[in-house]
Structure 1
Amino acid sequence: MNWINNVVRPKIRSFLEKRDTPENLWIKCPETGEMVFHRDLEANQWVVPNSNFHMRIAGKKRLEYFFDGGEYETVATPEVPVDPLKFRDQKRYVDRLKDARTKTELEDSVMVAKGKVNGYDMTAAVQDFAFMGGSLGMAAGEAILKGMETAVENKTPFIMFASSGGARMQEGILSLMQMPRTTVGVQMLRDAGLPYIVVLTNPTTGGVTASYAMLGDVHLAEPGALIGFAGQRVIEQTIREKLPEGFQRSEYLVDHGMVDMVVHRHDMKDTISNICNLLLKREAAVPALDAAKQIEAPAAEAQEANGAA
């Protein structure tokens, strides 16, 4: 009886009980199948070390990587009517919104923030694909416009990190109206003489590509990002031809003039900062070089003193 209580039952219990070990400790690279420890991946800004595959990241994380010290101030965005069309497919639209807000802890797909990048003030908006595919609805359109207005008020460059499947079908024509509205916001930036930099991430498609995502002064893209209006299969069925390999990927689009540069995520912050400095005709902040000069100066003086002796 003691053997059953002390040995058999504990083994059966341990077999039936679920372990508390998280299931996402190891993450599989979609490109190579390599398993990467999640802490190593997060420390590398969610870029798989060996394959250089850029994984999707949350909007809040992207802002942390972009602004100095990960510190930024969130810009409050205007409220919009919820479910103005009383839309329902397999679920009610209001229920889909609740699920997305619970999952992402965001009010909608676009976040707007302001802070310093390499010592200079900047305003940025980021689309979070986890929120209903980063779709463009009334709330997202209002957020983008608010970000552009904030940039004009503070006289800062405006950076748009685009990631979207297109317009939000649950809002119908009200969603499509955000395309020309955001175009007006882009014109506001141009009238104010402020840089508008667009960073195209994976994926950027549909109505977003047909509006503000392709109206920047400079278009940057992350490696391997899917960028286009319609899907590849739809295009092939329409023109009845096989499309080239890598079609609609950022590297292909750079070669064909649709994107200006493909920039690694680690270099994105400095690249954007340098572009804004060039467009605004201001000197780049290079504290690392200044610090190096301060270190080199005493060493040079010591060498001169030794030579004189």
Structure 2
Amino acid sequence: MKLLRFGPEGQERTGILDADGKVRDLSGTVPELAGKAVSLEALDALRGLDLASLPVVEEPGRIGSCLASVPNFYCIGLNYAKHAAESGLAVPDHPVVFNKATSCLSGPYDDVIIPRGSEKSDWEVELGVIIGKEALYVSEEDALSHVAGYCTINDMSERTFQIERSGQWVKGKSAPTFGPIGPYFVTADEVPDPQALRVSLDLNGVTVQDESTGDMIFTVAQIVSHLSQFMKLVPGDIISTGTPSGVGMGMSPQRFLKPGDVMEIEVHGLGRQRQTAVAAA
């Protein structure tokens, strides 16, 4: 299934794509796509619906973030060897874990706002993992059975805030609009191998990131298992699994976002995003 949210900001409704690619209104069954509504049990119940009985949304308009909210927004850093190299850092022995503030969620086509004081706002295409079943101390072999689905993420970063102002990376990762997710929440049954997906990002029409998730240092199964050794993952949690090389920080000379820049972000099979960078008011 491909689930989505459509409508003006703050008034989004839940939708589902039918076999013809039309949006059907699912809001009568799923008022809010978040938390227990994306549990494996809830998704199984949706599979029994007759989509033809749901109203067609002729003009869905704006597409919102594919989840209304998330309990936790976990991220994995330096998970592609080339990206670690361009960052001047060693390949990690264990997954590098950090958070984004959940208030950074935004729609896949919404403007990205360059925050006040920003000098180095940067882009990062990533595969997103959505948890559908509580996970605590799970093995790698069992880890994917806790995954509800996947989505495209642009893990926006402000490098000055992240690196040069001490403390945790979360400061450079959490500005409003720094977490575009979607357009679709694609259920796990449509992604037979999360390590065989192409991730790409175009900046102003030029491809700057283009890699396969097969090149990830730590696989999705390893990441879910690893996180579950330290915390309980719950339905609706999202994990951003790392970005390949090609970020602005790694370019020579470095290149960071300026107002008017356009990013097009895709995890193939999960949907394509498009954002324009704008200055903060």
Q: Does TM, scored on the shorter chain, surpass 0.5?
A: no
TM-score normalized with structure 1 length:
0.24
After TM superposition, the score normalised by the length of structure 2 is 0.26
Considering fraction of residues, name the structure with more helix.
1
- Between Structure 1 and Structure 2, which shows a larger proportion of strand residues? 2
Choose 1 or 2 for highest CA Rg.
1
